[in-house]
C-alpha cells in the first residue's frame, strides 16, 4: 500500500511540474538552453536518436583529444 502511495505521490508531483516548468529549447551539440514564448514552435520535439548521435560524437572527440595529448 505504501508502494502505491509513493507511486501516486510522485506521479502527482510529475503532473504539477509538467504544468509549472516552461518549455525550453536545448542544443543537441553544446547543450545551450533557450526559453521564451513560442521558442519550440519552429523546431521538432526531442529526438533521442539525434541526441545519442551527438553525445557519442562528443565522446569520441573527447577520447581522441585525450589520446593525442
Applying CB under 5 A, which residues contact Zn ion? Answer: 27, 29-30, 32
Q: What is the closest distance, in whole angstroms, from the C-beta atom of residue 48 to Zn ion in the complex? A: 18
**CA 36 from centroid of its chain's CA atoms:** 17
Q: What is the closest distance, in whole angstroms, from the C-beta atom of residue 63 to Zn ion in the complex? A: 21
Backbone angles phi, psi at 9, to 5 degrees: -65, -45
- Surface-to-core class of residue 37, CB atoms within 10 Å of its CB (0-12 exposed, 13-18 middle, 19+ buried): exposed
Comparing CB distances to Zn ion, the nearer of 42 and 69 is: 42
Nearest residue to the partner Zn ion, using Cβ = 27
Amino acid at each position: 500500500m505504501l508502494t502505491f502511495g509513493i507511486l501516486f505521490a510522485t506521479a502527482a508531483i510529475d503532473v504539477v511540474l509538467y504544468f509549472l516548468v516552461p518549455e525550453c529549447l536545448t542544443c543537441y551539440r553544446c547543450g545551450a538552453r533557450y526559453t521564451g514564448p513560442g521558442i519550440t514552435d519552429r523546431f521538432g520535439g526531442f529526438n533521442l536518436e539525434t541526441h545519442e548521435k551527438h553525445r557519442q560524437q562528443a565522446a569520441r572527440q573527447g577520447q581522441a583529444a585525450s589520446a593525442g595529448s
